[in-house]
Amino acid sequence: MADLSFTQEELDEIERLKDKFPTAKAATLRVLWLAQNKYGHVKEEIQSLVAEALDVPKSHVHGVARFYTQYYKEEKGKFVLDVCTCLSCQLCGGYDILDHLEEELGIEAGETTEDGMFTIQEVECLGACGYAPMLQVTNGVYVNNLTKEKVDTLLENLKNGNMPEFESMAMPELEKRNQAASK
């Protein structure tokens, strides 16, 4: 394991995060995010690093990291595909999308492809119910209104290193009126 440490720039950012709150402990979630964005996970050695930077017990950081699902307690693929299968997504074919991804990538939900490119996870409601089925790429951008074809295109783009762009989902009626106005 390479030497684990935060750079001076990161330590400055941690100070800034601590300043948002009356206690250093309150910055735990934010510093775990910072660490995960740097290392790609927050395994135990990273949790220790966070605890040290905040001067809080490691047990506290461990408890927090374990509690929240978006923190990766193990290494994941380069792209983590979080497929929502909850309620509205279930109704609109979320499981079909999950099955299709599993078939295309030859892995089950919770697993990572051998080349380390993709991890598939089945997740709970992501708050995009009107644009179901959908998935989120590595805690980042939402990909909405999925079809099998859209999933295939997404995989192809990700393999080429192209992240999908943020898709603004307008309020349908305002969109309709704006279109009428522009005619």
Question: Which residues lie near other proteins (CB under 8 A)?
Answer: 20-23, 25-30, 32-33, 60, 63-64, 67-71, 85-88, 90-92, 124-132, 136, 139-142, 166, 168-169, 171-174, 177-178
Q: Give Cα separations from 105 to 30, 108, 117, 132, 135 (angstroms).
A: 32, 8, 10, 21, 15
Q: Where do we find the tokens 């998935």?
A: 135
Taking residue 140's Cβ as centre, other Cβ atoms within 10 Å add up to 12
Nearest approach, Cβ of 32 to other proteins (angstroms)? 7
**Nearest Cα residue to 45 out of 13, 73, 71:** 73
Q: How far is the CB of 19 from other proteins (least distance, A)?
A: 9
Q: Which is nearer to other proteins, 106 or 157 (CB)?
A: 157
Residues 6+ apart with CB under 8 A from 4: 39, 45, 46, 49
| Closer residue to other proteins (CB): 152 or 167 | 167
Nearest distance in Å: CB 106, other proteins: 25
Give the nearer residue to other proteins in terms of CB position, either 134 or 158: 134
**Closer CB to other proteins, 93 or 104, in the complex:** 93
